[in-house]
Structure 1
Amino acid sequence: MRDYATGGTNRPPDRDVEITDIRTCVLEGNFEWNLIEVETDAGVIGIGEAYRGGGVPELVEYTKRFLLGENPLDVERLGRLIVQEMSGHGGTTGKVVTAASGIEIALWDAAGKILGLPVYQLLGSKYRDEVRLYCDCHAGEAYAVEDGATAYADVGAYTPEAYAREAERVAEMGFSALKFDLDTPADNDPDPFNGRLTREDVARKRAIVERVMDTVDSHVEVAFDCHWDYTVESAKRLAHALEPFDLLWLEDVIPPENMDAQIEVTKATRTPIATGENRFRVHELTKLVSEHGVDVITPDPTTVGGLIETRRVADRALEQYVPISPHNVCSPVGTVACVHLCATLPNFDLLEFHALEVDWWEDLLVRETPLIEDGRIAVPEAPGLGIELDRTVLAEHSLDGRGFQ
């Protein structure tokens, strides 16, 4: 077996650093956010975030068996070490890769603080000073998350007018790109299982899209998300019906496992198709990009394997002239990590912001100015991720009320 624990040891004393502890904290936002701290003997603590949901803290705790004592500056090697050591635990995909993603981000933060450089510079380049966001919106009160499970409102909440009102409101905040969920409870009638849209379903969705597009100014771009709900024929019929509206993209129209089916849908329509958020590592996304099965690739850096793995996906996409717009439902920690990454990608387009309903989202950081201004985030120039957590706010919104453990 390859031994990724045997890195080069010849380095000067100021970079001869060790990991001394790894801690986690779960925050109750609109999702359960998994934050991770990596402590070093250099007096530096790196902060990261793994994708939301259960199981991650336990997996992070397990990695202490082989990560303690390792040099945090060897970010890429340690990412490979996690996958190698936990390969028998399903470690080449799934939750192990998610946990590794959050640890990797914390390692980048620690490395930047130790070396005195922002993370984007460690990743190799800077193409932009600001990262443009698209805001994930919902029709009025038509969406909620309780204990990690989606809870939809009554069918009557999903009117074209409700979508249009929210589009107008969010655009007035300064966002020039929006996204709405186009899958609704009405899709489950007459059958909640087969994934087929009726003629009435397609007409209803077309009316929603038309009303939103008529409401926003021409400079505002709009995408719609379907959350992997439909059959191939329904996905194609829906995409065809939306072709007149020049959407930013139509996202996740079919289940994610079958790449050939995804390729068929994408090539059957002029509506741009986006997908990629629930795939792991570059291996699971390469075919989609190389065979042009996607118009916009949307990996989640806190899921796919971290910042460097997302960079690998972006490189594959760049070879095929495909833009990348990372999925992001994180706290400010994961979001700022994505900002550093997006600054380094020539084919980057937009980064998701999915916390409009969390009124304390920005309070999690100690800052004198807002993080988001006019729908954009400035790329931090301070070492590491360039952010500082407000520990009082952190404890207040943590699951156990104590913060990192």
Structure 2
Amino acid sequence: MRITDYELYQVPPRWLFLRLETSDGRVGWGEPVVEGRARTVKTAVEELLDTYLLGSDPDPIEDHWQTMYRGGFYRGGPVLMSAIAGIDQALWDLKGKQFGAPVYELLGGKARNRVQVYQWVGGDRPEGVAQAAEEKVEEGFGALKMNATSEMRRVDTPAAIAEAEERLATVRETVGPDVDIGVDFHGRVSKSMAKRLARALEPHEPMFIEEPVLPEHNDALPEIAAYTSIPIATGERMYSRWDFKEVFESGVVDIIQPDLSHAGGITEVKKIVGMAEAYDVAMAPHCPLGPIALASCIQVDACSPNVLIQEQSLDIHYNETSDVLDYLADPSAFDFQDGYVSLPEGPGLGIDLNEEHIREQAGDIDWHNPVWRHEDGSVAEW
């Protein structure tokens, strides 16, 4: 059995799908993408497949991972690790289909029967959050996530802090104490403002504050943690176990959020979540992406005891043109009940994709995140 062919599809709203085919006719799917850099990652996937995998046996996944990562002198970073991630997902999909079992069964078996998911509310510049939160709770979700602020200056006004606090207070008052609310700083906030903002939000008991500073400033996390008892989450822009090693050793991160399409795929994230367990750190995988990425997350969630909750992008503000379920032949694979998703029982990643629809939608999808600017014209963090 050999890998004989592959196809890559850029599809709306901002995703890249990989289809791997083997000599016995099996097909495996992966989702290798950096949002806003799909064409760049597409080229990296082609280079890796053409150089290392075409014509090879798909079975030795660990060896393929090591070859793709260590076969190049320059390693890591979002583009390479996302390319590896999507290929790795497709290899695990093939492996599960070979043995007629979900991937989580090949990784040790399930540690839970279902996975809690949270629902995004409010948009990039959060507004109408309380009403959206109320609607999602009525739909059965017991956990939500919202952006804390729009762009913030390095040292902003008391009014900017008060606005963020009032927004969260309104949501908390609307949904009550039984609903968890994650608050995403999105790396928009400087370390000086992160301290003030965390202290202001604490009375409203968010589930976590996410990415309070950019990963290049993770050395500031101990100082921020000293200002608050709110659990700190980070990791969507960290790409390997070596990136996470430092935050584990610092002892200030409570929840890690590796992305299964950015952090080396199933193979690497399973190692990261194992490291996290040793440091008493929970995992909530980042996934504002498509159905293949979400299916990959659920496979790791299923067999990892320290998983807290799962992000998913159904109805997220990015998905204006296409949504997660649009690409599935059987949308019931992600049938959320009472804010949970059941573990898939099908082989591989446990989803069936609508290949005809994927081909119809495929094209040169030119999505890029907006560039925000402060009032003085300087570039702001998005």
1:53 aligns with 2:36: yes
* d(CA) in 2 for partners of 1:291, 1:125: 31
1:329 aligns with 2:272: no
1:281 aligns with 2:244: no
TM-score by length of 2: 0.89
User: Which of 296, 320, 326 is matched with 1:363 structurally?
Assistant: 326
Cα distance change on mapping 1:215 and 1:128 into 2, 3 Å: same
Do the aligned residues in 2 keep the contact of 1:86 with 1:96 (CA within 8 Å)? Answer: no
Cα distance change on mapping 1:236 and 1:126 into 2, 3 Å: same
Cα distance change on mapping 1:243 and 1:259 into 2, 3 Å: same
How many percent of aligned residue pairs carry the same amino acid?
31
Q: How does 1:299-378 map to 2 (within 5 A)?
A: 299-357=258-316, 358=319, 360-367=323-330, 369=332, 371-374=334-337, 375-378=339-342
Do the aligned residues in 2 keep the contact of 1:22 with 1:60 (CA within 8 Å)? Answer: no
User: Which of 218, 222, 231 is matched with 1:263 structurally?
Assistant: 222
Determine helix, strand or coil for the equivalent of 1:223. strand
TM-score by length of 1: 0.84
Do the aligned residues in 1 keep the contact of 2:284 with 2:311 (CA within 8 Å)? Answer: yes
Residue 262 of structure 1 deviates from its aligned partner by: 2.0
**Deviations, residues 303-331 of structure 1 (Å, cap 9, x unaligned):** 11111211111111111111110100121
Determine helix, strand or coil for the equivalent of 1:304. coil
Q: Which moved more, 1:382-391 or 1:333-342?
A: 382-391
Do the aligned residues in 1 keep the contact of 2:270 with 2:300 (CA within 8 Å)? Answer: yes
Q: Partner letter of residue 28 of structure 2? A: G
Residue 397 of structure 1 deviates from its aligned partner by: 2.6
Q: Highest CA radius of gyration, 1 or 2? A: 1
Residue 96 of structure 1 deviates from its aligned partner by: 0.6
1:163 aligns with 2:147: no
* d(CA) in 2 for partners of 1:251, 1:163: 17
Do the aligned residues in 2 keep the contact of 1:34 with 1:53 (CA within 8 Å)? Answer: no
User: Which of 125, 136, 140 is matched with 1:174 structurally?
Assistant: 140
Determine helix, strand or coil for the equivalent of 1:50. coil
Work out the number of aligned pairs and report it.
356
1:33 aligns with 2:15: yes
Q: Which moved more, 1:344-353 or 1:385-394?
A: 385-394
Determine helix, strand or coil for the equivalent of 1:373. coil
Cα distance change on mapping 1:178 and 1:273 into 2, 3 Å: same
Determine helix, strand or coil for the equivalent of 1:37. strand
Do the aligned residues in 2 keep the contact of 1:118 with 1:383 (CA within 8 Å)? Answer: yes
**Deviations, residues 195-248 of structure 1 (Å, cap 9, x unaligned):** 223211111111001000000033211011111122222111111111111110
Determine helix, strand or coil for the equivalent of 2:304. coil
1:207 aligns with 2:166: yes
Q: Which moved more, 1:237-246 or 1:255-264?
A: 255-264
Residue 352 of structure 1 deviates from its aligned partner by: 0.2
Residue 370 of structure 1 deviates from its aligned partner by: 5.8
**Deviations, residues 122-166 of structure 1 (Å, cap 9, x unaligned):** 11221112111011222xxx54xxxxxxxx5xxxxx55xx21011
Determine helix, strand or coil for the equivalent of 2:305. coil
Do the aligned residues in 2 keep the contact of 1:228 with 1:254 (CA within 8 Å)? Answer: yes
Cα distance change on mapping 1:267 and 1:78 into 2, 3 Å: farther
Determine helix, strand or coil for the equivalent of 1:250. strand
Do the aligned residues in 2 keep the contact of 1:19 with 1:40 (CA within 8 Å)? Answer: yes
Residue 25 of structure 1 deviates from its aligned partner by: 0.9
Do the aligned residues in 2 keep the contact of 1:264 with 1:293 (CA within 8 Å)? Answer: no
Determine helix, strand or coil for the equivalent of 2:353. coil
* d(CA) in 2 for partners of 1:273, 1:281: 19
| Cross-structure match for 1:127 | 111
| Cross-structure match for 2:26 | 44
Residue 184 of structure 1 deviates from its aligned partner by: 1.2
Determine helix, strand or coil for the equivalent of 1:258. helix
Do the aligned residues in 1 keep the contact of 2:313 with 2:324 (CA within 8 Å)? Answer: no
Q: How does 1:49-198 map to 2 (within 5 A)?
A: 49-51=31-33, 52-54=35-37, 55-63=40-48, 64-88=50-74, 91-138=75-122, 142-143=123-124, 158-159=126-127, 162-185=128-151, 187-188=152-153, 195-198=154-157
